[in-house]
A and B are shown apart, each in its own frame.
Chain A
Amino acid sequence: MVRFESVGLAYRHTGRHGAGRDGTPSTQILHDLNFEIAAGGFRWLTGASGAGKTSLLKLMYLAEHPSRGRISLFQTDISRVDRRTSSLLRRRIGVVYQDFRLLPHLSAYDNVALPLRLARKTEIRVRADVTELLRWVGLSGRLDSRPDELSGGEQQRVAIARAVVARPALLLADEPTGNLDDDQAQRLMLLITALNRLNTTVVVATHNTALIARHPAPVLELSAGRLIRHG
């Protein structure tokens, strides 16, 4: 499902000062990552702030290209796919962003409906799935609310609903419980584990050790961009 082989990620200094002098990468974010997650697997992704968790997730949801190494998703080498195939691969990935990334001009309903509409599902199916999921995350009364009318926790629940509504093959979550109270966090983990039992591969980045303790699973731990623990 997910395979990283000697993957490195570096950001070159660009912009007004141009690319890195002599063409070398300016900042190495991730170093020589090697791991594999089988279909239906679950991994916690941990590490201190700045360890590279978000960058690793970005590589997984195709928001970044690796500077070196090879990444395979769904048995596809992502370095060899065209733009269209990349987009189609992204549709199989659900992402809960740390900053929610909701569309401010759309209602909660329309935000959650986006992945289904992009997949050209019928509006009947969209309505059924979106209303059910928003009810499940406790937002059945806020369908028409725009993100700026929702609290941080409510926005996070909308973001979670959007990530899972299309029943993705791979679910990536970056600190998904950061703005939730314990009860909501527990409900979220129930949802995620339910999806995982339905063979969705899950990677959850978190600092929350209590959460990890309550839901034991293999851990990918990063430190300064290197994988120091896998298992």
Chain B
Amino acid sequence: MARRFATRPIDSLGLESAMADRLLPFLVAAMSFLAALAFAGSLAASNFATHWQDSARSTLTIEVPDPTQPAGTPPAANPPATAPALSRQAAVLAALQRQSGVDHVKQLGPADLQSLLAPWLGHDAADLPISLPAVMTATAPRPIDLTALQTTLTGLAPGAMVDSGATWAARLGDLTGSLQASAAAILIVVALVAGAVVAVAVRAGLAQRRDSIEIIHGLGALDADIANRFASRALRLAFLGGAAGALLALPLLLWLAHLSAPFAAAVPLAAPPASGKLQELGQIRDSLPAILWGAPALLAGMAALIGWIAAQITVRGWLRRLI
């Protein structure tokens, strides 16, 4: 008997047990699951966009019509009078290779050009009675003066076009912004719904213990004494639900990461040959950003905080009706 009364019971007012301990964690787990997906979606959109934007922004595509015609004379050039005339594609290629800040200049071969045009002209584009342009690609890691480059190339090959990919980069930026805003909106909605779920559970608990709370209030309990009992219970249940939901989301996230690997540079396209369990574990670890591995703890903490705040607001509001 002495041991039984040696320490204060955790639920000494008998209020915490008023809150159902089954439904709330389950509902919070569902919210946490959705939040984990939205969070991962937001991160993925951000990562993909950064990668794609960098790639699109630095890529130059140059199109040279009538590539085999003799090149013109660039305004600043002073060629020897007896030099043989270069074709337009060769002149543009040479100009690009000389251009400061431009690397990896490459002309697409007939097969590349064929596959590029196939969606529009079919697989027999080379046999069509039309003059196909020469297409070259290059990279410009740092911003360059595209207007000057365009002028130079037009002088060599009238009608030559330089596409920097900046337009695509801007569009990708807009798309990423929209995706991230959507993910943020989903997270906010999920947080609000989780708060509402906790509030409903707390109100059910208050209704169940209404008489007891009035008695305890009459004995001199402060609002905080009562609210803290419900809030600590809500915090624990929401923490459990939040952690469970996020843990359940991890396998799905790993699968999605595997599916999206071809679109993200961070994830290897083909898994290297496994040489041990440690390496396999390393591959699994690397397939998600570090912050997503911390998602269970992060979401459990957020769920707990939401649970605690929602319970405090609900109980204190309810207690206002008592004198």
Contact = CB atoms under 8 A, between A and B. Distances in A.
Interface of A: 61-65, 83-84, 86-93, 95, 101-106, 109-110, 113-115, 117-119, 123, 126-127, 131, 143, 162
Given A65-B323, A103-B215, A115 B220 contact: yes
28 contacts: A62-B323, A63-B323, A64-B323, A83-B223, A84-B223, A86-B323, A88-B220, A91-B220, A92-B220, A93-B220, A101-B211, A101-B218, A103-B212, A103-B215, A103-B216, A105-B209, A109-B5, A110-B14, A114-B12, A114-B13, A118-B219, A118-B220, A119-B220, A123-B5, A123-B6, A126-B5, A126-B8, A127-B6
B164 to A, nearest CB: 67
Given A91-B220, A118-B221, A127 B212 contact: no
Nearest to A131: B5
A114 B229 CA distance: 14
Contacts of A114: 12-13, 216, 219
A113 B8 CA distance: 10
Contacts, number: 71
Nearest to A109: B5
B12 A61 contact: no
Contact of B221 (A62, A87, A126): A87
Interface of B: 1, 5-9, 12-14, 17, 209, 211-212, 215-223, 225, 323
Contacts of A65: 323
B323 A91 contact: no
A128 to B, nearest CB: 10
Nearest to A143: B1
A101 B225 CA distance: 19
Contacts of A61: 218
A93 B5 CA distance: 26
A90 B220 contact: yes
A143 B2 CA distance: 12
| Interface-central residue, B5, B7, B8, B225, by most chain A CB under 10 Å | B5
Nearest to B224: A84
A105 B212 contact: yes
Contact of B220 (A64, A87, A106, A123): A87
B321 to A, nearest CB: 12
Nearest to B223: A83
Given A61-B218, A87-B220, 19 more contacts: A62-B323, A64-B323, A84-B222, A89-B220, A90-B218, A95-B218, A101-B215, A103-B14, A103-B212, A105-B209, A109-B5, A110-B14, A114-B216, A114-B219, A115-B219, A117-B8, A117-B12, A118-B216, A127-B5
Task: Please classify the interface of chain B as helix (H, G, I), strand (E, B), loop, or mixed, using the class held by over half of its residues.
Answer: loop
Nearest to B319: A83
A137 B1 CA distance: 19
Contacts of B17: 105
A96 B174 CA distance: 70
B217 to A, nearest CB: 8
| Interface-central residue, B17, B211, B215, by most chain A CB under 10 Å | B215
Contacts of B7: 123
B133 to A, nearest CB: 81
Contacts of A90: 218-220
A111 B13 CA distance: 9
A9 B219 CA distance: 22
B212 to A, nearest CB: 5
Nearest to A119: B220
Contacts of A84: 222-223
Contacts of B323: 62-65, 86
Contact of A105 (B9, B14, B217): B14
Contacts of B217: 87
B277 to A, nearest CB: 51
A114 B218 CA distance: 11
B34 to A, nearest CB: 35
Contacts of B225: 118
A62 B1 CA distance: 37
Contacts of A126: 5, 8
B192 to A, nearest CB: 28
Contacts of B221: 87, 118
| Interface-central residue, A62, A104, A118, A162, by most chain B CB under 10 Å | A118
Contacts of B13: 114, 117
B219 A91 contact: yes
A89 B217 CA distance: 12
Contacts of B1: 143
A104 B220 contact: no
A129 B219 CA distance: 17
Contacts of B5: 109, 123, 126-127, 131
Contacts of B8: 117, 123, 126
A117 B229 CA distance: 13
A62 B219 CA distance: 10
Contacts of A88: 220, 222
Contacts of B9: 110
A228 to B, nearest CB: 28
